[in-house]
Structures are given as structure tokens and as C-alpha cells.
Structure 1
Amino acid sequence: MPESAPNSFSSIPILDYSLLSTPEGHAKFVEQLRHALIHVGFLYLANPPVSREDMDALIEYTPRLFDLPQEEKEKIRMANSPHFFGYSKLGAELTRGQTDQREQFDFGTLYDNQWKPGDPEYLKLWGPPQWPPEELIPGFKETYLRYLAQVEQLSYEFISLMAEAFELSEDALSPFFNGSTKPESGVMQHRSKIVKYPARKEGESDQGVGPHFDGGFLTFLLQASDHPGLQVQNLAGEWIDAPPIPGTFVVNLGKALETVTQGLARATSHRVLSPAPGSTPRYSIPFFQSIAQDVLIGDLVLDFKPGILKLKDSRGQVGATDSVNYTEYGQYPSGYVNLIGRVKSHPDVAEKHYPGMFKQFFPQGLPAQGSAY
């Protein structure tokens, strides 16, 4: 596509983390990052500072996790957890009125829940994950936690690089992380999923997960099989493939980041198509960087130098996207925005652990499927 239409990117840029090892490379990386943040909202990160051995080990564990006996998976089903951690069966969620053909486990970094009666309900969201028994999948929990710790560290390093790209002070984003952009124990909890997209049957919908935005600030996706399927909607409304590249992360921006940057950083609509009939399953492992639960995004909108903010104008006219979720940022604390999305997506969890909100959103009782929007 012509260079004069930057809003119509036709591929996802690849940024090489190893450039940061020299002053010249660092400057080049930051320049490339600024372009990706403003014009694309997605990027591949090559040579990330995460052990390739741990990445490969986690990928190897992934099909084994889904091959556990169904009764064992049901023992750690999400309905057990007020923190929305655990197993969700195939087809449990809708996106834009269609069933998402995915089976998944939600996990997170270690955190001791600190909610007490009288506190806002959204403080229940952070707490201990549910894990499969060690004897059924030896070493999985240890490997995953080691991997998550490294990605958490990377996510904070990326926040600092982002601040540099936007010519902000190094600590400009620390209020969104309870005052620290370092992985300090007990300060923050970040979420991760392991997702299986089975091959669709002939005549079935190809919706693995429908068009959506992510919340929060940053997502780091490890594509854990060699299937295509992830697609990104460019700013002209066209769907662009983001195929797996071994050893890389796909990094994308969340709706909260777009809101606090006055739209300078762009959250980008994306979806996943199911593998073709007769194919093996597609697997993916996203890491979702959280922001502080009590932050009211509308009160902490960042100020930029006029020259930086003006870069948004070079993006051109933005076309319509197919995603509409996370419109509540700016109205409510971040934790409550996330709780709304979780309650809508997983009404069985809400019925058990958030009965007041369940009645608010589901006055007719428990639906067959959840739908965030």
C-alpha cells in the first residue's frame, strides 16, 4: 500500500530487542517503536529477553494441558474462583453474538488476595490462580511461573521504552502500576491464558475469537503453534494477517493505554480464525499486563509535548473497526471496568461470587454463554 496512507498498514512491523544493546541501535529501536505505537498498535518483538528454553518448554506443555482428563480440567473450572482463574470449556463465550470456538485456562502471576468486606468488589479480582495437580503435569507450574516472571519484567522495560518514545519522563507511567514500574512482589497481578483453537468442522463458523480490543496497557502473545489465524484490523478497516514467527512475541496495545495517551497510542481491533477442517489445533499464550485497580483513567490522562501529540495527525482518517469493548474507561476505576467485562464473559462465576452484579447484568438468570459485548 502507498506510503502516503500510513493508516492502511499491510503488515506488522518486526522490532529487534537486541538493538537496545548499543546507543545507535537503541535510538533506532525507539524510533521504530514510536511509529508502531502510533500507526499500527501491533508489533512483533524479536530476540526478547525471555529464555527461549522456557518459551519452548511452555509450548511443549500446552497440548498436554488440554489432554488432561476432562474431569480433572473441570476440577479447576473458573466457577470455583472469585478471581476468574481456571478452566473454561469449548464454546463458553460469545463475541458479537457468535460463539468463540476456543477452550482455555486462565492463570496469573502470584498474588495474595487483599480484599476485605467493605472494600470495592473489584479488589476480589486479584488472587491465587488454580493449577492442575503437579503429578498430572509435572513441572508445568514451575515452568509457567518462571516464564511469567520474565515476561512481567519485559513488560515493565517496555513501559520505560514507550515513555522514551513519547518523550515522557521515565516515571510518567508509574502511577498506573501502584507507583512502581518494577516487578515487586505483591504490588501487581498480571493475567495470562493458554488457549486452544480446535480445527473447525465443515460448514462451521471460523470464529476462534471474534473482533475485540484488549484492556490494560500491553499484551505479549506467544503464538504456540505454527498455525496462522491471528488477524489485525488496520485503520482503514482491512484485516491483516499476523502469522507466527518462532521466538517472537506479538505485542499489542490495550484500550486503557489508548485512553491515557489521548489516542496517541492506538489500541487495534483483532480476531482469531479457527484452523481449517482437518488441521491440528492452534495454541496461543497471551500475557495481559494489568494496571492498578483503583486508577480512574480519565483522571490520569498524560500530557505530551505539542510536537509529539501532533504525530497523531499523520495517521490520517481512521476507518470504522469491528470492535467496541472497553468503552467504560474514563468513567470507572480500572478494576471495575475489568470486573464488568469478566462478569459479562463468565456469568457462572458472577452468579457464585458476585451475586449483586450477576442480578444487575443477568436479570433473567444464568445464560447459556457469556458475552462481554
Structure 2
Amino acid sequence: MSRGFKHIPILDWKIYQEGQKPAFLEQLRDALIFAGFLYLQHPPIEAGLIERVKEYLPKLFALPAETKHKLDMVNSPHFLGYSSLGSELTKGKVDQREQFDFGTPYDCIWKEGDPEYRKLWGQSQWPSEEDLPGFKDTLTRYLSQVQDLSEIFTHLVAEALGLGPNGLDIFFDHPMSSMQHRSKVVKYPPVGDEQQGVGPHFDSGFLTLLLQASSHRGLQAQNVDGDWIDVPPLDDTLVVNIGKGLEFVTQRVALATTHRVLNPPLGSTDRYSVPYFQIIKQDIKLADSVIDFSPEILALRDKRGDPVSDSVNYSEYGTEESGHVSLIGRIRSHPDVARRHYPTLYKVYFPGESQ
């Protein structure tokens, strides 16, 4: 008998807004435990802002190659900037996507003697106003509103799991806006046999909120039986999924679900997406902060069972500070950046490579 979900649950934000919070929390609890993925319908984002973001995406990637390469991620110790097609790895295999990584506003505070992971938070590289007028303001405004939503949603996650609204506050600096959260703007081009837009993986941190910015299918989530389930774009939704950090501290109650993206087929148009990654504070060791749950919640987790997974990333949460775990993930995905800015760690994770 199958234990795995066959479709992605849809939670309507209007249910919460219209005073039906208990019903919303019950649906959220089941989605967290049994799927680890959900659609959030009617998210509280400014009317028209999502459409303005979508309009910018083809323009961003249509910038001249020399303009984009001025923003290359290899310039940034924060792993923020432009990555050309085929320059990122997942499980050692090349991802067929082109992307920009941006962060919420933050000035790096790292100084000599600090842990290297403090370098991860810092200023983004943006196209100039001359090259793409209004883009920085539009995306920054969008990320600010998604950040606000993620904070509210984290309190609801805590309530849904029986922890009370502040049950996850220990994992964040306060206010949450004093931290840096991250985003990608991604283009998946049509390809032939090479279908890995991004390979099977987990996200780090606690929550990812994803805007599927074009009509293409491609995103898939892996259920506990190991089956790949399509997550097609739905109008007026964000996709929310659980990160490996939240799974770890909840004793696998909230499920971090392996997911991947397949490129559009040849003859199609480009697929665009904008994921937002909610980051947890850098200096916390999650193994010291695992949460206890009621027998009723643990019984639901046990009913679901342990998933089959094609991904193993972020296993270091049991031994390392959160910031170091994130840095390891970045180094494995972007060895060119690691070679320039983190040469000691580069040698650890790519011992056979020459400098």
C-alpha cells in the first residue's frame, strides 16, 4: 500500500485571513508531515508586484553576455551574483540552468578571526539602473514582502506542530530582517537529452517560498515511496517546501522533501522561477536545539514513515553550526567561487583538483 502523496496540497491564505485559523493550521500540519510541499494560494503579496517581477525575467537574462559576466558569482565571497549555464553542480552533475543569486539587504560584518561562514552574508551584485532600470527596486520590494510572509508562516508552522507561535523563534536573529535571506532568479532553457535543470536535492534552512514564473512544468517532488510527483504552476500561488534544517530540529516531523527540476523540451520556451530561501541564524548548532513533540504529533510522523530519497545533502546539521553547513553546500555547488575565496575548504572538498 502506498504511503506517499500523489498530489501537492493546496492551502488557501484566505482561510487564515477570514478567521478560520484552526482549519488552516490543521491543513498545514498535514502538509508539513505528509508532503513537505504545499501550494500557498492567494499569498499576501502586493497586487501587480508578482507580474512586474515576471516581466523583468526575460529582460534580465537577455542582457549582453559581457554585462552579465561583470556580475559573475566568482567575484563574491558571499556566493551572490551571476552563474552561466552549466556552472553549478548538484551531486557532482552539471545543472542545465542560468541564474542570478541575490540576497536581502545586508552589509558583511566578517572580520579576521571570525568563522568563515560569516562571509556568506553580504552585498548582492545587481545590474545597473542603466542596464535594467527598476529591476533592483522591484525585486527588492518583492523579497521584502516574501520575507514578511515567511516570518508569519514560520509562526503558523510552529502552531500547527503544537509548539505555540514562538516555538521556532530561537533559530532566528531578531528582528528577522537583521539577517540575510537569499533568492535565486533562474532560467531553465530547452535542452535535448540533458534533462537535469537542477538535480535531486534538499534545501537548507527552514522554508523555501517559490514563485514559478512561467507556465512550464518541470518541478517535481519525491514522495516517501520514491515516486516523482509533478508540481505544476498554479495561478496566484507560491510553492512552499521544508528545508533540511527544519526537518532536523523537528525530529523529522516536518518533512524535507527531495525535489528536482527538469528542463523544458527542445522546441519549447524558457522556464523561469524565483525561489526565496529563509535562512536561520548562523551560529546555532541544531543538534543542541532539537524540539520535543506531543505523542499525537509523533504518531503522525511514524504513520508517514521515512522517505526514500535521491538526495543526501546537508547531513552535517548534526555536528556543525548552521552557517558552516550552508557554506559547505555553497562550496560543493560552486567550486570556482570556493577556489578563489575559500581555498582551504576548497582543498577539503575537492582534494584532487589543482589550484
Same fold (TM over 0.5): yes
Question: Aligned pairs, how many?
Answer: 355
The whole-number CA distance in structure 1 between the counterparts of 2:228 and 2:180 is 32
The whole-number CA distance in structure 2 between the counterparts of 1:88 and 1:244 is 24
- Alignment gaps of 5+ in structure 1: 368-373
Percent of paired sites with the same residue:
57
- Alignment gaps of 5+ in structure 2: none
For 2:162, what is the secondary structure of its paired residue? Answer: coil
The whole-number CA distance in structure 1 between the counterparts of 2:307 and 2:78 is 36
* 1:8-157 alignment, distance < 5 Å: 8-23=4-19, 25-157=20-152
Q: Shift of the alpha carbon at 1:319?
A: 4.3
The whole-number CA distance in structure 1 between the counterparts of 2:349 and 2:30 is 40
TM-score (norm 1): 0.93
Q: Does the 8 Å CA contact 1:52/1:247 hold for their aligned counterparts?
A: no
Q: Shift of the alpha carbon at 1:167?
A: 1.1
TM-score (norm 2): 0.97
Corresponding residue number in structure 2 for 1:188: 179
Structure 1 letter corresponding to 2:254: A
The whole-number CA distance in structure 2 between the counterparts of 1:96 and 1:336 is 19
Residue 231 of structure 2 is aligned to residue 242 of structure 1: yes
* 1:173-212 alignment, distance < 5 Å: 173-178=168-173, 180=174, 182-184=175-177, 187-201=178-192, 204-212=193-201
For 1:252, what is the secondary structure of its paired residue? Answer: strand
Structure 2 letter corresponding to 1:326: Y
Structure 1 letter corresponding to 2:213: A
The whole-number CA distance in structure 2 between the counterparts of 1:106 and 1:322 is 25
Corresponding residue number in structure 1 for 2:345: 357
Q: Shift of the alpha carbon at 1:364?
A: 3.2
* 1:277-356 alignment, distance < 5 Å: 277-315=266-304, 317-356=305-344
Q: Does the 8 Å CA contact 1:347/1:366 hold for their aligned counterparts?
A: no
- What does the per-residue CA deviation read over 1:214-237, in whole Å, with 9 as the maximum and x for residues that have no partner? 110000000010000000101110
The whole-number CA distance in structure 1 between the counterparts of 2:129 and 2:141 is 15
Q: Does the 8 Å CA contact 2:247/2:255 hold for their aligned counterparts?
A: yes
Q: Shift of the alpha carbon at 1:143?
A: 0.4
Q: Shift of the alpha carbon at 1:303?
A: 1.5
- What does the per-residue CA deviation read over 1:165-215, in whole Å, with 9 as the maximum and x for residues that have no partner? 01113222111102x3x543xx211000000000013xx221111111111
Residue 200 of structure 2 is aligned to residue 233 of structure 1: no
Q: Does the 8 Å CA contact 2:77/2:120 hold for their aligned counterparts?
A: yes
Taking only aligned residues, the RMSD between alpha carbons, in angstroms, comes to 1.3
Q: Shift of the alpha carbon at 1:366?
A: 5.5
Q: Does the 8 Å CA contact 2:89/2:332 hold for their aligned counterparts?
A: no
The whole-number CA distance in structure 1 between the counterparts of 2:38 and 2:124 is 29
Q: Does the 8 Å CA contact 1:218/1:289 hold for their aligned counterparts?
A: yes
The whole-number CA distance in structure 1 between the counterparts of 2:152 and 2:235 is 22
- What does the per-residue CA deviation read over 1:305-336, in whole Å, with 9 as the maximum and x for residues that have no partner? 22222221221x43421111111111100000
* 1:159-170 alignment, distance < 5 Å: 159-170=154-165
Structure 2 letter corresponding to 1:348: D
Structure 2 letter corresponding to 1:337: V
